[in-house]
Amino acid sequence: MIERAPFGRTGHDSSRVIFGGAALSRMRQERADELLPVLDEFGVNHIDVAASYGDAELRVAPWLARRRRDFFVATKTGARDSDGARRSLEQSLERMGVDSVDLVQLHNLVEPGEWEVAHGPGGAVEALARARDEGLVRFIGVTGHGLRIAGMHLRSLERFDFDSVLLPYNHALLQDAGYRADVEALLARCEERHVAVQTIKSIARRRWADEEGPRFSWYEPLRDADAIDRAVRYVLGDPQLFLNTSSDATLLRRVLEAADSGGPAPNVAEMDADVEGFGVRPLFDGADLERI
């Protein structure tokens, strides 16, 4: 079984691998019903979906109708204003058939203008804090993509006492000195404040080339079993981090097997060899490739 650890200061011991519900976005209900029992097999007890993940919230609804108490349930809103965030949260609750969620997250809050709206009067943060007071959600987090996001999360934590953050984390991305410095500063701040840290893009290989396919995620993932194993252990080697699974559902079992097998984090030489051997390239560059 995959080990569990305190999810920040929430009081919940979450599996260190979190199910990324984006994998359900375009999936038929019958296929989702076949996939979700794999979580039980490996002891995954934390599900992360979003209002923008297609049909994902609908696909987990039958599962949650039977098993709500067994899972820490998180969703996200892309709204920046108060009314929009409230509507988004209420719609997510309705779609999942639940009275409340454990965590709601501001989705991809990286652009300065959107950040100011979300944190300002009449913004999404205000609405989500009110929803927390009403018992519709227990905790509030913030997520994002790109090389600017670790720095923006630091800024967000100065403005509001978020319970969790989510950001890209893999060996190739961390070779960017600026991003690595921001990530290290963010991890230190989160440790100090007992803020949970979720990571995404652990098994990313590169952006798709025009001739590649089929595509089950917006980026091309690693598919070599040993490389996936090393990529997963690279993240889980840091006990502070949680790993969110890929939107490519065909790789779910392989990622869970890698996490379940345990073992030490790979060394730098091993990770460098994977970058070279599998043509791993950062998904973001702080400029032209910053936005997905």
Burial of 159 (0-12, 13-18, 19+ CB in 10 A): middle
Please check the confidence at residue 216 and state whether its pLDDT lies above 80. Answer: yes
Assess contact for 54 and 280: CB atoms under 8 A. Answer: no
Q: What is the mean pLDDT of residues 233-241?
A: 98
Q: What is the residue extent of each domain of the chain? A: 4-277
pLDDT in tens, 133-163: 999 999 999 999 999 999 999 999 999 999 9
Assess contact for 51 and 77: CB atoms under 8 A. Answer: yes
| Window from 1-15, 72-86, 126-140, 210-224 with minimum mean pLDDT | 210-224
What class, spelled out in words, does domain 4-277 have in CATH? alpha beta
pLDDT in tens, 90-134: 999 999 999 999 999 999 999 999 999 999 999 999 999 999 999
Please check the confidence at residue 279 and state whether its pLDDT lies above 80. Answer: yes
Detail the DSSP E strand segments found in the chain.
4-6, 13-15, 17-20, 46-48, 72-77, 101-106, 137-143, 164-168, 196-200, 204-207, 219-221, 241-244
Task: Please name the helix (run of DSSP H) or strand (run of DSSP E) that holds residue 189, with its range, or none.
Answer: helix 177-193
